[in-house]
Amino acid sequence: MQTIRRSARPSFSLRLGMIVMLALIGALPLDAAPEGAGPDRPSVAGQVQPGVVVVKLRPQARQALSLQGGTTGLAGFDKLGRRHRVYAVEPAFPFLARSARKRAEDLRQVFYVRYEGSADPRAVAADFERLAEVVYAEPLQIHRLHDLPASPAAPASPAAAAILPNDPLVSQMSHLQQVLLPEAWDVVRGEQGLGSPDERVVIAIIDGGTEWRHKDLIDNVWTNPGEIPGNGVDDDQNGYEDDVHGWNFANDSADPTGLSATPGNAQHGTVVAGVAAAVTNNGLGVAGSSWNAQFMPINAGCPDLDNLVCYGYAGIVYAAENGAHIANASWGGPGLSRFAQDVIDFAVANGTLVVTSAGNGSGGFGTNNDTQPQNPANLFGVLSVGATNKASDQKAVYSNFGRSVDVFAPGSSLNSTYPGDAYDDQLNGTSFSSPLVAGIAALVKTRQPDWSMAQVREQLRVTADPIDDANAGFTGRLGRGRVNALRAVTEFDHPAVRTTNVAVADEGGDGAINREETITLTLTYTNFLADATNLTFRLTTPDDRITVEQGEVTATALPGGTSLEVPFTFTVGADTPNEYTLVFFAEVEADGGAYTDATRFELLANPASVLTHDTGPVQVSITEEGNIGWTTFSDTFDPDSRGVGFVYQGVNYLFEGGLMIANGPGRISDAVRGVQDGVGQDADFAPAPGSVLEITRPGVLAHEEGQITLVDSPAPLPLGITVDQETFADTSEARNDFVIFKYRITNAGLMTLNNVHAGLFFDWDLNADALDYARFDAERRMGVAQNAATAPTVLLATKLLTTNADVSYRAIDNETEIYGGDAGNGFTDAEKWSFLSGGVQRTDLDGADISTLLGAGPVGLKPGCAFDMAFAVIGGTSPEAIQASADAAQAFWESTLGEIQPNRPPVFTTADGLSLSVAEGQTLAFTFEARDEDECDVLAYALDGEVPARATINAQTGQFLFSPDFDQAGLYAFTVVVTDGRDEDRIGVVINVTETNRPPVLARVLPDTLITAAQTLQFTFDVQDPDGDGVTYRLVDAVPNATIDPQTGVFTFVPSLEQVGAVVIRVEASDGQTSVLAEATVTVIEPAFRVAGAYPSPFSPAAGAMTLSFQLPAQATVSVKVFDVLGRTVATLVDGDLPPGPQRLRWTGINDAGQPVASGVYFYRITARADGQVYDALESLLLVR
């Protein structure tokens, strides 16, 4: 018996095959990257070319290759090729067929596979990668040029003391002084060559096309010494005819000029070339940073997509194959690529330094390349360059950053060549900082012709000037700083000690970094430049989950060109989550602290396990987090996902699968996608402490038996359950088309869980366009996905085997219900609960991107009690075959795997025929009781039959509540049901509802009112009686001059002067049995118009305002004005309507013009018009200042 335990994530091919997420930030020198160094499966993101994937074959497969159109002679490869309609398989680099260059054989294993149709290249690549003869398969990426429109250029700095070239635009090229190029040119110039001017450094400009005939470029263009121009012969046998001055991959010609169809590409390539290699000191235009190194123009742009690069990696291979010392790549995109890394490794092995732009972020703002890696900037072996402003050390706002960016250089508004023999300074981007540094690299190589390009790269790094002080907020994230050309060509006493390899050994020996075990790291440090003495090596981390136990080692010396292995140890805390990324810094200090450097790298801790069942026709992966098929999604979507999916007869059809358990929309534990636009995944399950995923072969009941115990503690609101997952796969012919998943769900909490539902979610992709068909077999309780509406040839099914709970099923339209459902916010908890608990819902779906959800429930779980649920996941080639396999799975379950325990039904202890009574308007409360001999059964109560309105029963407690309305008098007979989820008991109940008188209802009552004395107030009260009884009215308190008609409710009130003030009126309405009371306040005021006068008088504005007081008998139109002794209007205090009652107006001695009036006697006049009457008063006042 063999037991297979947790499997490790495929290694990064580091020495011990450990699970290493390694991001050596600028770590691996150009000629020191270990074989296969880098991620085993870096993510591929961004834009890709349609209809083509890149496939690398294993050496033995390539040797057996027999290419004929779209076939290879490899049986498995060609079978898959026919499925994807492959029409051509061709070498990615046919010109390497006879190459003797280092690692050329590695690239001869790489092929372009071209296919018809619109299938996503990511999905096609994932299918090919599963073949045993394939090393990797990837989409072919398209990269964007790293330029932006220019912002206003900074003013030019004064020229330095060094001698400047005579190019007329040099005075505007302040970036030259910023990197001390004039001083560097006093030391070395590219035109001096490597021993002689005839052997100059060659910089390949791999871009969108270059106007190499530009008057300020043509004298520096590279000429292929082995090619005779115009003879139509590949004289040097490099695979390209007449490539005298480079090559154009965009139109497959010998002229690398940009195409008219892509003017942006042509402009970009010409500007980039001029920054590095414009002819210098020729009395024309601009100066290139290399001072006349040669440049090799290579058009790698897309033929009909502007500002994009389609053939960048072919261009790098061409450059290295044809002897370029430096290859500039001012383009890139998100993600990483094994294909691209193979190309960089080829360039490195053949002495070509790839200088690449770090990228411009998104939306004009830079991003952190440490956390969002770029291709090729984050690949091992390149020199990546970020951008500063033209004439300062401030990071350009658009530039990417991070420790993984090696150096920075000006990239804004650089003066350079432009198509049409013109010049331009209107572009920004790391696109232009990169060739500036490429030109300086040419100066270093010219100064040190015997150095390797790895040493050139390191020299540029260690002589850069730190710029953290000029960039608040970016400390430690600006690489080594801004390049200093003068230091780079004069200071040769600096060491360059770099981390070149990470080897990991774990205490447990299972190839994984697990919680609380001691890990030994052996870091290899290589010194590429001057000797280093008194070295201190440190391992540090910002993560408090990591305890570094041995973190410092010293050495007396590390001579240049030698390496040293340094051991460190650490442990990971017990609280570290699964799939957790550990961040470390490998630091080095030497020469008494004069030299320091650091490398950031990552390791993966607690990798989630994944194992795979194999019946022959079926392969399906199981995990320790509730996922099925994959650890997350299909690796076509998530390249870091592990597993095989659900493979039937050699093809995977599963995008995502997982377990779901819930007892309400707010308490869902699951392992499927969530609300992040349907692309994030909930991870609510984890292994129970001490539980290990394993498959036993052979098992006791089946050929393969898997086991893991899960808990839902990671969920935001855990149910508090444990889940014993068992899987059974059998290789016998009768049972090899399915795998059985059994779940025992146990309530590990202290409270009963009611209404629990559980199920399996699968997102199937049977057709290449992901438009499939869903069906439901009610007899077999089985959901089916199939590749056609009729006569399908591929069918995948999920069948519920257990019968202890009702079935739920829904065929889900991903496009409208997950990606577009609930305003496009992904797969919400509300949707999950509705689909899982809603019974059999949509059963058929045609021509859609489908998922299926099959579940069971509801069940109740008391503390410590469990519920078993089992499914068969089945593959078939016809409806008849899938049905036969489903029946075989059911038989296997019932005969061998299932535990049959007879259920004992619940029994009411409340007597049958119970009679109860309640009056209308009252509440009846009664608790029904039942017992169940199966102690783990949770009982649920319900009402059935002709249940009266307003009657309810608590499903868990059996408490019955009934509050009959006033029109519900009568007898009611209905049934109360109790169930344990499988069986039930029933009793009859009769309730007599007796009639109750209902009180009158106030319909219209007197509001609070203001009237004047002697004014008549009349109001009719309206009171309705629900039972139709007659209503009489009376005044509760006698009020003089007030009456109410007892029959009609007409209220009359004519107050006297003695009743001025508030009068409370209370009216009672009665039906003879009950009554209601209405209350209102009537405010009675005097009917007269009266002026109280002005006070104070005399008044001084300095002491405060004067107040005019008067009273209105009713609402009136009022005018109040102030006049001087000549009768002229001085101020208008009011001119409009005022309510009845006391009035107060203020005047501060300011006239209508806003000016203070003089001291003296004034008059004010009050005129009021109300109810056809005019009231008028004239009074005097004295103002003293």
C-alpha span between 702 and 889 (Å, rounded): 12
C-alpha span between 345 and 328 (Å, rounded): 15
**What is the tens place of the pLDDT at every residue in 579-631?**
788 999 999 999 999 999 988 888 989 877 889 999 999 999 999 999 999 99
Which residues are CB-neighbours of 967 under 8 A, at least 6 positions away? 920
Of the candidates 719, 606, 634, the one whose C-alpha atom is nearest the C-alpha of residue 127 is 634
Between 86-90, 192-196, 329-333, 347-351, the lowest mean confidence (pLDDT) is in 192-196
pLDDT score of 599: 85
Q: How much is the average pLDDT of 292-308?
A: 96
C-alpha span between 554 and 568 (Å, rounded): 12
For 497-605, CATH number?
A: 2.60.40.10
Between 127-131, 286-290, 404-408, the lowest mean confidence (pLDDT) is in 127-131
**What is the tens place of the pLDDT at every residue in 785-804?**
999 999 999 999 999 999 98
For 1001-1085, CATH number?
A: 2.60.40.10
Structure-token match 């000191």, residue found: 281
Asked whether 12 and 39 are in contact (CB, 8 A), the reply is yes
* Torsion over CA: 357, 359, 360, 365 (sign): negative
For 610-897, CATH number?
A: 2.70.98
Please tell me which of 151-160, 292-301, 334-343 the model is most confident about, judged by mean pLDDT. 292-301
Burial of 716 (0-12, 13-18, 19+ CB in 10 A): exposed
Crossing angle of helices 430-447/263-277, nearest 10°? 30
C-alpha span between 1090 and 1176 (Å, rounded): 10
pLDDT score of 409: 98
pLDDT over 60 (residue 40): no
The tally of CA atoms less than 13 A away on the side-chain side of residue 86 is 29
Which architecture, in CATH terms, is 1090-1183? Sandwich (2.60)
Tell me how far apart the terminal alpha carbons of the chain are, to the nearest angstrom: 114
**What is the tens place of the pLDDT at every residue in 11-23?**
222 222 222 323 3
**What is the tens place of the pLDDT at every residue in 1118-1133?**
999 999 989 999 999 9
pLDDT score of 816: 86
Three-state secondary structure readout of 268-297 = HHHHHHHHHHCCCCCCCCCCCCCCCCEEEE
Three-state secondary structure readout of 579-628 = CEEEEEEEEEEEHHHCEEEEEEEEEEECCCCEEEEECCCEEEEEECCCEE
Task: Give the number of other CB atoms < 10 A from CB of residue 1046.
Answer: 14
Q: Give the three-class secondary structure for 531.
A: coil
Q: Which segments of 643-794 are extended strands (E)? A: 646-648, 651-652, 654-664, 667-670, 686-687, 694-697, 704-711, 721-729, 738-747, 753-764, 772-777, 782-786
Task: Give the H or E element holding residue 1116.
Answer: strand 1116-1123
pLDDT over 60 (residue 37): no
CATH fold for domain 907-992: Immunoglobulin-like (2.60.40)
> How many residues can be counted in the chain?
1185
C-alpha span between 389 and 411 (Å, rounded): 6
Confidence of residue 1015 (pLDDT cuts 50, 70, 90): confident
Task: Give the number of other CB atoms < 10 A from CB of residue 556.
Answer: 8
Instruction: Spell 814-839 as b/e; 16+ CB within 10 A means b.
Output: beebbbebeeebbbbbebbbebbbee
For 170-489, CATH number?
A: 3.40.50.200
pLDDT score of 484: 98
Q: How much is the average pLDDT of 117-143?
A: 87
Phi, psi of 650 (to 5 degrees): 90, -5
Phi, psi of 268 (to 5 degrees): -60, -50
Q: Give the three-class secondary structure for 546.
A: strand
pLDDT score of 715: 93
Cα dist from 246 to 15, 63, 314, 1047, whole Å: 40, 31, 12, 112
Of the candidates 447, 607, 598, the one whose C-alpha atom is nearest the C-alpha of residue 512 is 607
C-alpha span between 240 and 234 (Å, rounded): 6
Between 176-180, 680-684, 864-868, the lowest mean confidence (pLDDT) is in 680-684
Give the rounded percent of residues in the chain with a pLDDT score beyond 70: 94
Are β-strands 148-149 and 427-428 bridged in parallel, bridged antiparallel, or unpaired? antiparallel
Structure-token match 């068969």, residue found: 872
Confidence of residue 1087 (pLDDT cuts 50, 70, 90): confident
Q: DSSP class of residue 190?
A: G
C-alpha span between 687 and 693 (Å, rounded): 8
Structure-token match 């399915």, residue found: 738
Q: DSSP letters along 764-785, please?
A: E--STT--EEEEEETTTTEEEE
Burial of 1159 (0-12, 13-18, 19+ CB in 10 A): middle
Of the candidates 918, 902, 1094, 1073, the one whose C-alpha atom is nearest the C-alpha of residue 1000 is 1073
Cα dist from 979 to 21, 196, 756, 808, 838, whole Å: 53, 97, 15, 19, 19
Phi, psi of 879 (to 5 degrees): -55, -40
Of the candidates 400, 391, 382, the one whose C-alpha atom is nearest the C-alpha of residue 151 is 391
**What is the tens place of the pLDDT at every residue in 416-465?**
999 999 999 888 999 999 999 999 999 999 999 999 999 999 999 999 99
The amino acid present at 434, given as its one-letter code, is S
pLDDT over 70 (residue 764): yes
C-alpha span between 737 and 955 (Å, rounded): 42
pTM assigned to the model: 0.63
Three-state secondary structure readout of 212-259 = CCCCCCHHHECCCCCCCCCCCCCCCCCCCCCCCCCEECCCCECCCCCC
Q: How much is the average pLDDT of 805-830?
A: 81
Tokens of 737: 């088309």
Tokens of 389: 């402003």
Task: Give the number of other CB atoms < 10 A from CB of residue 1181.
Answer: 20
Structure-token match 């008609």, residue found: 1045
pLDDT score of 6: 33
Q: How much is the average pLDDT of 92-106?
A: 89
